[in-house]
């Protein structure tokens, strides 16, 4: 394995004393090749240290063995400080882990793509269409995003994690966010809370609005027609601020549903600062069951979001659609579950 140019099919063919075509057949396991030649070729492969050039192969087969993980944002300028936070959040890693658990087994690679501008999205779709990747898993952050529709229009195999904000004929996996929020409501009510508030995420993001409506609906069903709500942006800081605001408005609160664990962590901080005991004075319930939940003090009762499973399913859906592009548009909704810890 010297380090000049990498050996090519041609080289192997020369060493084996056969034609390029034959080597290609052997490598790709196509029958109709004499077992003897078969062996000769593999010997030559070993001797030369040959590894097929994936690019060249993809160019002709129109298959890359690569799937794009697209993080779709809507930034204005390129130095988006938000992205740093996004990657640091366990959310991203859990998705990657879930995806890899199935892609890896299939020998499919994951290429990370971040797009913000509409220009970037256009180019992304173009790249995808011209075979840059076989398909895309899409994580759409902005409340309204043209990307899902562009992908659908361009007939690019794609699966979203989290439903699109606008109805678009595209596969997706999602969590029954409303059910999860309802479970939180039931739990708080069941443990005797009567003055319950909510710290929500941004109202225009689907996952967030579903949690809001699910929670309100469940509360209303039990006679609480109005729920004091302050919204944050899913960061710990915003949760802390929101909790302070909520407390200022409703000092007698005895329970709060926080739309994700990170904000719940912040809320816990604000609560400690105001000398309220959790859960004795006020019960706190989070959402996601991220690693932050177990790290919190007290450990967070939360709604489990089976993100790894969802991502894995997204990968499976995508692989299936790549294999068979005419499949009917599908969606898979996961049911959340309540994880009972100490905070509520």
Partner DNA sequence: GCAGACTCGGAAAGCGCTCTCCAAGAGAGG
Partner DNA sequence: CCTCTCTTGGAGAGCGCTTTCCGAGTCTGC
Q: Which residues bind a copy of itself (CB under 8 A)?
A: 1, 3, 6, 49-56, 58-59, 64, 66, 69, 78, 83-84, 86-90, 92-94, 96-97, 100-101, 104-105, 109-114, 123, 126-127, 129-132, 153-155, 236, 265, 291-292, 294-297, 308
Report residue 8: phi and psi, to 5°.
Answer: -115, 175
Least distance in Å: CB of 207 to DNA?
38
Least distance in Å: CB of 15 to a copy of itself?
16
Per the CB < 8 A criterion, the answer to whether 236 and 229 are in contact is no
Of the two residues 218 and 318, which places its CB atom closer to a copy of itself in the complex? Answer: 318
Per the CB < 8 A criterion, the answer to whether 81 and 235 are in contact is no
Beta bridge partners of 266: none
Least distance in Å: CB of 35 to a copy of itself?
23
Of the two residues 83 and 141, which places its CB atom closer to a copy of itself in the complex? Answer: 83
From CA 288, how far away is CA 86, in angstroms rounded?
Answer: 15
Of the two residues 61 and 294, which places its CB atom closer to DNA in the complex? Answer: 61
Residues at the contact surface with DNA, assessed by CB under 7 A: 5-6, 8-10, 18-22, 24-25, 27-28, 31-34, 37, 50, 52-53, 56-57, 59-61, 130
Least distance in Å: CB of 49 to DNA?
12
Task: Count Cα atoms within 13 angstroms, Cβ side, for 207.
Answer: 24
Of the two residues 59 and 248, which places its CB atom closer to a copy of itself in the complex? Answer: 59
From CA 208, how far away is CA 62, in angstroms rounded?
Answer: 39
Helical spans, DSSP H, in the chain? 9-16, 20-27, 35-48, 54-61, 81-88, 90-103, 118-129, 147-153, 177-190, 206-221, 236-249, 261-273, 291-295, 307-323
Q: Are strands 337-339 and 301-304 parallel, antiparallel or unpaired?
A: antiparallel
Q: Out of a copy of itself, DNA, none, which partner does residue 114 contact, by CB within 5 to 8 A per kind?
A: a copy of itself
Q: Out of a copy of itself, DNA, none, which partner does residue 344 contact, by CB within 5 to 8 A per kind?
A: none
Of the two residues 214 and 286, which places its CB atom closer to a copy of itself in the complex? Answer: 286
């Amino acid at each position: 394995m010297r380090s000049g140019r990498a050996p090519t099919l041609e080289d192997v063919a020369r060493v084996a004393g056969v034609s390029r075509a034959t080597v290609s057949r052997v490598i790709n396991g196509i029958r109709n090749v004499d077992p003897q030649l078969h062996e000769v070729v593999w010997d030559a492969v070993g001797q030369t240290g040959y590894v097929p050039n994936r690019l060249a192969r993809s160019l002709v087969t129109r298959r890359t063995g690569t799937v794009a993980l697209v993080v779709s944002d809507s930034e204005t300028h390129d130095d988006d400080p938000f992205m740093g936070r996004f990657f640091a959040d366990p959310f991203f890693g859990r998705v990657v882990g879930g995806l890899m658990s199935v892609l890896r087994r299939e020998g499919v690679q994951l290429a990370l793509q971040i797009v913000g501008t509409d220009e970037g999205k256009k180019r992304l779709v173009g790249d995808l269409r011209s075979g840059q990747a076989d398909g895309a898993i899409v994580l759409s952050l902005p409340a309204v995003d043209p990307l899902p529709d562009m992908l659908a229009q361009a007939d690019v195999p794609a699966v979203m994690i989290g439903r699109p904000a606008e109805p678009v004929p595209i596969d997706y996996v999602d969590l029954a966010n409303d059910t999860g929020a309802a479970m939180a409501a039931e739990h708080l009510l069941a443990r005797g809370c009567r003055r319950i508030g909510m710290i929500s995420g941004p109202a225009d993001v689907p996952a967030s609005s579903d949690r809001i409506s699910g929670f309100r609906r469940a509360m209303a069903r039990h006679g609480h027609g109005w729920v004091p709500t302050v919204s944050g942006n899913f960061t710990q800081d915003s949760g802390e601020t929101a909790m302070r605001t909520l407390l200022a408005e409703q000092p007698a609160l005895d329970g709060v549903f926080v739309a994700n664990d990170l904000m719940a962590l912040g809320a816990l901080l604000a609560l400690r600062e105001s000398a309220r005991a959790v859960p004795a004075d006020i019960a706190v319930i989070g959402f996601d069951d991220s690693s932050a939940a177990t790290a919190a003090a007290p450990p967070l009762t939360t709604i489990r979001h089976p993100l790894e499973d969802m991502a894995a399913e997204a990968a499976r859906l995508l692989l299936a659609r790549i294999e068979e592009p005419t499949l009917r548009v599908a969606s898979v909704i996961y049911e959340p579950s309540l994880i009972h810890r100490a905070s509520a």
